[in-house]
Amino acid sequence: MAENQIRTIGVLTSGGDAPGMNAAIRSATRRAVSKGIRVKGVLKGYEGLIKDELRDLGDRDVSEIIGRGGTILYSARCKEMLTEEGVLTAVETCRRHEIDGLVVIGGDGSFRGALELSRHGINTIGVPGTIDLDISCTDYTIGFDSAVNTAMRAVDQVRDTSTSHERVSIIEVMGRNAGYIALWSGLAVGAEDVLLPEKYDYDEEQIINQIIDTRRRGKKHHIIINAEGIGHSQAMAKRIEAATGIETRATILGYMQRGGSPTCQDRLYATVMGAKAVDLLAEGKTSRVVAYRQGEFTDLDFEEALKMEKTISEYEVDLVHSLSYSTSVR
């Protein structure tokens, strides 16, 4: 489709919200308005498409949201989008509102819905938005930086009290089946252990032996970052306390990681990605995902992007252990 043929676009946020989504909504809206394109905000993700809950978005509607957490469009996990009937209803809503292109800001679940819409003739552009960083085609997802900074600060605070009481602390961070928040926050706080779904072999005895060893060498705390994908932190704490004789507490950080004002990186990258999604639509590109790869913003074919696989950095995993279990006493 040529540039002047795009008249109306839709924007939605779907799945778990993430700090920076508002920055992407703002930039997509303002970029579109600057090109003479009308914007419809779809409320509550795909649910809004299925239930026909859309509202016009003008440049003033997105004022002062760049620094706000959450999403002004609201978000939902929509099971109906997994059915053919749901997809067809969503397609019908797009047609009724004469939407020439849809910007979907969300994670991989949301991208699967977007791909279905694409296959049914709705031009859809995906913008990666999830704190989990688990979208294979991109090195950056909106919200990860804010979430991992929140986790890092929280662990720093837990460590203060953990040291005072000479306890072992297990801190569980979000990430669903991915260990990026755990790995990055673990490295950033100098955790003694980071348990990742991608790597964990359930060898608790090894962890227990290391706790006993580091305590014998005089270490006053032992911080274990446990990824949500492994979970069971409370039960693990009880087992470790029983085996080591050292008081052990579990803290589950939970939804605080999804909220709060986005970091500079999330505001900036989300701004670029939201605008780029609109640029792609205006250029007549169809079915693309905006991505950040090897230091550059780029775009990929939706179908190809969803086939990619992501691996966790072996080097970073190795660093956690080699930096935590040095022979000297800290």
Q: What residues line the site for ligand F6P (CB under 6 A)?
A: 16, 77, 107, 130-132, 174-176, 228, 258
Nearer CB in complex with ligand F6P: 182/224: 182
Shortest separation between residue 144's beta carbon and ligand F6P, angstroms: 10
- In the chain, helix, strand, coil percent, each to 5? 45, 20, 35
Q: DSSP 3-state assignment of 157?
A: helix
**DSSP class of 246:** S
Shortest separation between residue 130's beta carbon and ligand F6P, angstroms: 5
Nearer CB in complex with ligand F6P: 127/174: 174
HEC per residue, 243-295:
HHCCCEEEEECHHHHHCCCCCHHHHHHHHHHHHHHHHHHHCCCCCEEEEEECC
Nearer CB in complex with ligand F6P: 32/289: 289
Shortest separation between residue 286's beta carbon and ligand F6P, angstroms: 27
**Pick the catalytic residue: 132, 145, 266, 279?**
132
Question: Does 100 participate in catalysis according to the annotation?
Answer: no
Nearer CB in complex with ligand F6P: 96/153: 153
**For the residues of 304-322, what is the DSSP string, one character each?**
HHHH------HHHHHHHHH
Q: CA distances (Å), 223 to each of 30, 107, 313, 314, 330, in order?
A: 45, 30, 21, 21, 13
Nearer CB in complex with ligand F6P: 21/102: 21
Q: CA distances (Å), 64 to each of 22, 27, 67, in order?
A: 10, 12, 7
* Cα–Cα distance measured from residue 218 to residue 169, given in angstroms and rounded to the nearest whole number: 16
Shortest separation between residue 16's beta carbon and ligand F6P, angstroms: 3
Residue 7: phi and psi, rounded to 5, are -110, -40
CB 214 within 8 A of CB 325: yes
Nearer CB in complex with ligand F6P: 176/221: 176
Closest CA to 257 of 14, 75, 77, 19: 19
Shortest separation between residue 66's beta carbon and ligand F6P, angstroms: 21
- Closest residue to bound ligand F6P by CB: 16
206 CB burial (10 A radius; 0-12, 13-18, 19+): exposed
Q: Scan for tokens 């279990």, then name that residue.
A: 325
Shortest separation between residue 181's beta carbon and ligand F6P, angstroms: 7
Strands 222-227 and 193-195: parallel
Residue 90: phi and psi, rounded to 5, are -65, -40
Q: Which residues are catalytic?
A: 132
